[in-house]
Amino acid sequence: AVADAYVLGHLPQFAAFRQAHAQKVDLPTYPFEHRQYWFSDHREHRDPQLTQAPARRTQAVRLLEDGKIE
């Protein structure tokens, strides 16, 4: 909220945040730890219909292919 106010041109009194009980917090370092958090599904899929959705030719695709929109 303070950042939003600052971006909108308001100047918060940052000294109010420097109280005796205030402490710095560690920022998350996961973007730099080179650890992946992607879900991996190790099950075998033998039926291709279960792994890929059927392609649909929508009205927007038809208009693009016909050169009516860019």
| Domain spans in the chain, listed from the N-terminal domain onward | 1-40
| CA angle centred on 49, ends 45 and 50, rounded to 5° | 45
Q: Say yes or no to pLDDT of 4 above 70.
A: yes
Residue 59 DSSP label = H
> What integer pLDDT is reported at residue 54 of this predicted model?
63
Interatomic CA distance for residues 61 and 69, integer angstroms: 9
Confidence of residue 49 (pLDDT cuts 50, 70, 90): low
Residue 39 DSSP label = -
pTM score, whole prediction:
0.25
Cβ burial 45-63 (10 Å sphere, 16+ → b, else e): eeeeeeeeeeeeeeeeeee
Q: Say yes or no to pLDDT of 19 above 70.
A: yes
Contact 63, 69 (CB under 8 A): yes
Rounded mean pLDDT, 2-20: 82
